[in-house]
Amino acid sequence: MEDIGELAAQLREFAAERDWEQFHTPKNLAMALAGEVGELVAEFQWLTPEQSRTVATDPEASPRIRGELADVFLYLTRLADLLDVDLLQAADDKLQENSKRYTPETYRGSSRKAPPLA
């Protein structure tokens, strides 16, 4: 798998081969994405923040979480493809915007000002 574009193309083919384009409306895919993120969040719900930092080394939880991340990414890629959004470009634009909006000088280490990554 070279890049997101190739993944999107493979998902297009995957849907076409099964005649699933009819189900893949942006509305439905946004719901599917929410469902998968729910499963991902559930993996971390009872962990302390510290435990969540080392979960990647847990032989049981680690492959499960990798699978959930994959599911989220698959639906996100498919949804963005249907909406004609270039994920990398959109993320880059947003990151530039946030870099100016949340200057290190003002937001350094502040939990008060709530650190939105994005």
Residue with tokens 């698959």: 74
The answer to whether residue 64 forms part of the interface with a second copy (CB under 8 A) is no
Question: Does 56 help bind a second copy (rule: CB under 8 A)?
Answer: yes
**∠ CA 8-13-16, rounded to 5°:** 125
Is residue 100 close enough to count as binding a second copy by CB under 8 A? no
Residue from 64, 80, 100, 101 touching a second copy (CB under 8 A): that is 80
**Contact flag: residue 101 with a second copy (CB under 8 A):** no
Q: Rule CB under 8 A: is residue 33 a binding residue for a second copy? A: yes
In whole angstroms, the minimum distance from the beta carbon of 76 to a second copy comes to 6
